């Protein structure tokens, strides 16, 4: 029985060109970032449900805090959302127009 002897110029298992490894890692990271961006974008574009409650608008006021305007029929709620939960900031029976009133 004879065994093949590996030649000296064959690369060891797991060893690779540092440039190729770096580029591969950057490609994987770029893919993860792109998928995260798409997921956030699609969440706003695609309706998640068809019930009476809807998000009218939201704005980030910090890295983990935002203010959300919710509407349910004729009622509106302005809610502050953060790490420690959510708080009702204001309630309205009739929808109030927002933006420039010129």
Structure tokens that stand for 20 in this block: 């190729």
58 shares a domain with 32: no
3-state helix, strand, coil in the chain (%, to 5): 25, 30, 40
Tens-digit pLDDT profile for residues 4-33: 666 555 555 555 788 999 999 999 999 999
Write out pLDDT tens, residues 36-45. Answer: 988 887 776 6
- Give domain status of residue 3, yes or no: no
Residue 38: domain span: 11-46
In terms of Cβ atoms closer than 10 Å to its own Cβ (0-12, 13-18, 19+), residue 69 is buried
Same domain, 56 and 36: no
Who's near 66: CB < 8 A, 6+ residues apart?
A: 58, 59, 60, 80, 81, 82
- Do 30 and 74 belong together in one domain? no
Residue 56 belongs to a domain: yes
Q: 102 pLDDT band (50/70/90 cuts)?
A: very low
Region 43-53: what's the mean pLDDT? 69
């Amino acid at each position: 029985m004879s065994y093949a002897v590996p030649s000296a110029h064959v690369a060891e298992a797991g060893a690779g060109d540092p440039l190729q490894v770096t580029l591969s890692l950057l490609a994987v990271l770029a893919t993860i970032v792109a998928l995260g961006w798409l997921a956030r974008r699609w969440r706003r574009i695609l309706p998640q449900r068809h019930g009476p409650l809807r998000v009218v608008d939201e704005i980030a006021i910090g890295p983990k805090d935002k203010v959300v305007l919710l509407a349910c029929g004729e009622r509106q709620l302005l809610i502050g959302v953060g790490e420690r939960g959510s708080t009702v900031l204001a309630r309205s029976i009739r929808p109030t127009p927002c933006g420039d009133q010129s």
